[in-house]
Amino acid sequence: MVSENNRSLKPRLYTPSFVLISTANLFNVSSFGFFYLFPLFIKSCNGSESDIGIIMGAAAFSSVFFRPWISEMVDKVGRKKSYTLGCLITTVIPITYLVLKGDISDIYIPLIVTRLIYGIGLAICFTAVFTYVADIVPKERLNEGIGMFGATGLLGLAIGPVIGELLIKRYGFDAFFVASTIIAGIGLFIELFLPESYVNKKGSESVPFASLLRIKRILMISFLSFCFGVVIAATGNFVSPFAKEKGLRFISFYYICYSGAAILTRLFGGRLADRFGEEKIIPYGLMLGASGLIVLSFLKNEFILSTAGILSGCGHGFLFPCLNSLMIRGQPGEIRGKLTGLFTGSIDAGVFAGSIILGYIGDWFGLQALFLFSSFSLIPWIFLFL
């Protein structure tokens, strides 16, 4: 009888708002997942590895550059209104690629511009949506809530590349871009029905974005998130050209294994982190993430590709919600948008720097060296946390 009462008093996580925002996120991230295969479009236009790094990194650059203003907007204007604007941008941009055809030298600047705008849309989406979720989940189930919400994004990252690859092979890149816009548009429509999660009180004091970095704990989490972003740049930008170089037929199998492993990890990892603390779980996420990159550097067949995807996915499944929760736990609502922006912005900064640096490493030393190098961005943190 006592256990039944305890269960009934457990804070409710899966509210209608949680389900609605998760569904919208699924569609929006599925559209974003298409662009894991965007390097193939760049290659089809005679682009090199360094071209891939620069063009793909442009979105991360604008995402980082505009993050302070975006974070301020999320705290002042509201999470839901900001998310609507971000979804609108990510819906419109993919279809603009229909007019960008020809050699890479002819469309280089337009590609950079569209990627810069897309990066702003992504920054608004991710900052607003994770802040929204942090507002509505019970604090006792913060890791579980962020983890389970994030699982819909990971599912989208698996679905997007699969649909995108099938469309490219059967109908070409035009169908690829149209489908990306349609899927993002569905997410935009769904989120219109969300209520606002936080209303800023008039006259409340605004905390400068940069001042938060003076707090030692926040600075450390931000730097680790930056290193995590370098890893995401490696897996997001260079797996598809590496697999194609090795003659593997179904590249999206990596992302299926990656997302599947990350989702399963979040089913259990979130509760573990809420019970034992994020600091106890993070080292295991770092070990798994680094192992996945090392295995990927020895890519020869689909078995190695899937093993690397499983290891990296488990690492992602532990790291993202733990770092996010560690950043915002116990913080007031009026600065939660800035903290979420700092967390996601640090990851984007790592994606930007990683895209550029790893692109040149791939050109100079090959893609195998690229993945080995990217694993070193996580390894020192393992010993620090242990």
CB 146 within 8 A of CB 325: yes
Q: Give me the residue spans of the domains in the chain.
A: 16-195+213-385
Averaged pLDDT for residues 228-253: 85
Report residue 249 CA to chain centroid gap. Answer: 25
Q: HSE-up of 106 (CA within 13 Å, CB side)?
A: 7
Beta strands in 6-105, from DSSP E residues, in sequence order = none
pLDDT of residue 196: 86
Residue 19 has pLDDT above 90, yes or no: yes
pLDDT(12) > 60: yes
Grade residue 10 by pLDDT with cuts at 50, 70 and 90: low
Average pLDDT in the 293-319 region?
91
Q: What is the pLDDT of residue 167?
A: 95
**Alpha-carbon distances of 159 from 28, 225, 258, 270, 342, rounded to whole Å:** 11, 25, 11, 23, 28
Residue 311 or residue 274, greater confidence: 311
pLDDT tens-place string over residues 195-206: 887 776 665 556
| 37 or 272, greater pLDDT | 37
Q: What share of the chain in percent tops pLDDT 70?
A: 94
pLDDT band at 95 (very low <50, low <70, confident <90, very high): very high
The mean pLDDT value for 278-285 works out to 86
Q: Which CATH superfamily is domain 16-195+213-385 in?
A: MFS general substrate transporter like domains (1.20.1250.20)
Residue in this structure with the two tokens 């569905």, named with its chain if needed: 186
Q: Which of 73-82, 182-191, 209-218, 305-314 has the lowest mean pLDDT?
A: 209-218
Per-residue confidence at 166, pLDDT binned at 50, 70, 90?
very high
The answer, yes or no, to whether residue 61 has pLDDT greater than 80, is: yes
Q: How far apart are the first and last CA of the chain?
A: 41
pLDDT number for residue 204: 54
pLDDT: which is higher, 6 or 277: 277
Amino acid symbol at 202: K
Confidence band for 7, pLDDT divided at 50, 70 and 90: very low
Q: What is the pLDDT of residue 9?
A: 53
